[in-house]
A and B are shown apart, each in its own frame.
Chain A
Amino acid sequence: MTPLFARLRTFLPPRLAAAALALIYTALLFLILTFFGLEDLAIHYIDGGG
């Protein structure tokens, strides 16, 4: 049980807490991938680092 899941479980039933956790993780991953700047890194590799 992760700290966030434990916190969600204090006010949500187990299944709903698990669904909320999955939703939060997905949203956070989406934000990270959106702002990570993967394109910049890819271009860096394509250019051979130069």
Chain B
Amino acid sequence: MTEIAWYFCLATVALALIGTLLPTRLLGPVAALAGLAMISGFAPMAVAWLLCLIGLTYAAARLDARSGHRTPFTLFAAGIAAAALIFLRELETWAWVGAAYFTLRNIHVLLDCWMERYPAPSLRSLLIYNLFLPVIIVGPIHRYPNFERQLDRRRVSAEEISSGAERILFGLVQTIVLGGWVMSKVENDILPAQIPAVGFFPDWAFSALGWVDLYLVFAGLSSVAIGASAMMGLRIEENFNHPYAAKNLVDFWSRWHMSLTRWCREYVYQPVASATRLPVVGVLCAMLVLGIWHETSVYYLLWAVWQASGIVLSHLLGPYMPKLPGVLDAVARPCFVLAWLSCANPVVTRLEVML
């Protein structure tokens, strides 16, 4: 985990403690100012781009609402946001804290306004939504209407505060102790002593450990964000639902980073699948967007094709898979899922070299 993530984590906990005492009309602006200060401190260019993006979202949504019909300008603005994320991220001289997350949030608002799901938001609401500190660094990619509703109906109770604080504690243990310490011991000391350093199978084993480590750190930090929001009386979307208990790859992607996979399903898979009448193309496009969202590289393009083929195979072969007795089935299926996911790394890196 990066040092920036630590500082955001500490600031989130501090905000949660202060936020419980704040009246509702001040909570949004204070959380947004805290978010703005944190991003400005670590990534001034990211905050400049975020403010431009908020301005673009606001202007496009307003223009659409004023014209009284769907204009291509909103879709054009969503395209600009996506293209800018891809190209600006390549400028490695500047840090881009949270850029991938706030781009998806703004595209979500733009597309929902274009589909007339809700009226164009005010500039103040957009700023509060985008700069909400707890979700900046690791998400979840919370939804605008739910966030607005939560702010309107905010209720702070002793139960919410204690449950939220406990969630933060568990999240920190998961991130720091399990993800940070235990996994680094396994990856750096235990596993290298047991297996050779290079080769397909060692790469596979390290990749599998990487997936487990990623889950522990990422889900832990998501818990901190969700717990801090709960302490302040706001319920935001869950991000993980025991992904390593998944029965197959389709099930896995509905449990892993749920706010992102839901975004891809709603704004990529469903439109593509309904337009082409080919769910396979929808899955491939959704995974390509997921891959490019992580990084614009050949590796992630191949990674997306690998994961999409896993979903398609899982869907096709699922009914023919033999059911093992009792506990064995409950253990074997998640193991198979993890094996497929982690096999992407050794396969894709070798394909990349060949290409």
- Taking Cβ atoms with an 8 Å cutoff, the residues of A that contact B are 1-4, 25, 28-29, 31-32, 35-36, 41, 44
Note all chain B residues with C-beta closer than 8 A to A29.
Answer: 169
Cβ–Cβ contact A31 & B166, under 8 A: no
Cβ–Cβ contact B177 & A3, under 8 A: no
The answer to whether B118 has its CB under 8 Å from any CB of chain A is no
Cβ–Cβ contact A32 & B172, under 8 A: yes
The answer to whether B279 has its CB under 8 Å from any CB of chain A is no
Note all chain A residues with C-beta closer than 8 A to B180.
Answer: 35
Cβ–Cβ contact B162 & A32, under 8 A: no
Residue from the list A25, A32, A41, A44 in contact with B176, Cβ < 8 A: A32
Note all chain B residues with C-beta closer than 8 A to A36.
Answer: 176
Cβ–Cβ contact A4 & B166, under 8 A: yes
Cβ–Cβ contact A1 & B177, under 8 A: no
Note all chain A residues with C-beta closer than 8 A to B170.
Answer: 28
Cβ–Cβ contact A28 & B173, under 8 A: yes
Distance, CA A44 to CA B180, complexed state (A)? 19
Report, as a range, how many residues of chain B touch the other chain.
Answer: 10 to 19
The 9 A-B residue pairs with the shortest CB-CB distance, nearest first, are A35-B181, A2-B166, A31-B177, A2-B162, A32-B172, A28-B173, A35-B176, A2-B163, A35-B177
Produce 1/0 per residue, B52-95, CB < 8 A to A: 00000000000000000000000000000000000000000000
Distance, CA A25 to CA B159, complexed state (A)? 17
The answer to whether B6 has its CB under 8 Å from any CB of chain A is yes
- Taking Cβ atoms with an 8 Å cutoff, the residues of B that contact A are 3, 6, 159, 162-163, 165-166, 169-170, 172-173, 176-177, 180-181
Cβ–Cβ contact B163 & A3, under 8 A: yes
Distance, CA A35 to CA B177, complexed state (A)? 6
A2-B165, A32-B169, A32-B176 known; 12 new pairs, CB 8 Å cut-off, are A1-B159, A1-B162, A3-B163, A3-B166, A28-B173, A31-B176, A32-B173, A32-B177, A35-B176, A35-B177, A36-B176, A44-B3
Known: A35-B177, A35-B180, A41-B6. A28 touches B169 (CB 8 A): yes
B contact face: mostly helix, strand, loop, or mixed: helix
> Which partner residue on chain A sits nearest B184 by CB separation?
A35
14 contacts between A and B (CB under 8 A): A1-B162, A2-B162, A2-B165, A2-B166, A3-B163, A25-B169, A28-B169, A28-B170, A28-B173, A31-B177, A32-B169, A32-B173, A32-B176, A36-B176
Distance, CA A1 to CA B161, complexed state (A)? 10
A contact face: mostly helix, strand, loop, or mixed: helix
Distance, CA A25 to CA B5, complexed state (A)? 23
Min Cβ gap A21→B in Å is 9
> Which partner residue on chain A sits nearest B165 by CB separation?
A2
Min Cβ gap A35→B in Å is 4
Note all chain A residues with C-beta closer than 8 A to B177.
Answer: 31-32, 35
Q: Which of A25, A28, A44 has the most CB of B within 10 A?
A: A28
Min Cβ gap A16→B in Å is 18
> Which partner residue on chain B sits nearest A21 by CB separation?
B166
Min Cβ gap A33→B in Å is 9
Note all chain A residues with C-beta closer than 8 A to B166.
Answer: 2-4
Distance, CA A33 to CA B250, complexed state (A)? 38
Min Cβ gap A4→B in Å is 6
Min Cβ gap B269→A in Å is 33
> Which partner residue on chain B sits nearest A28 by CB separation?
B173
Min Cβ gap B227→A in Å is 11
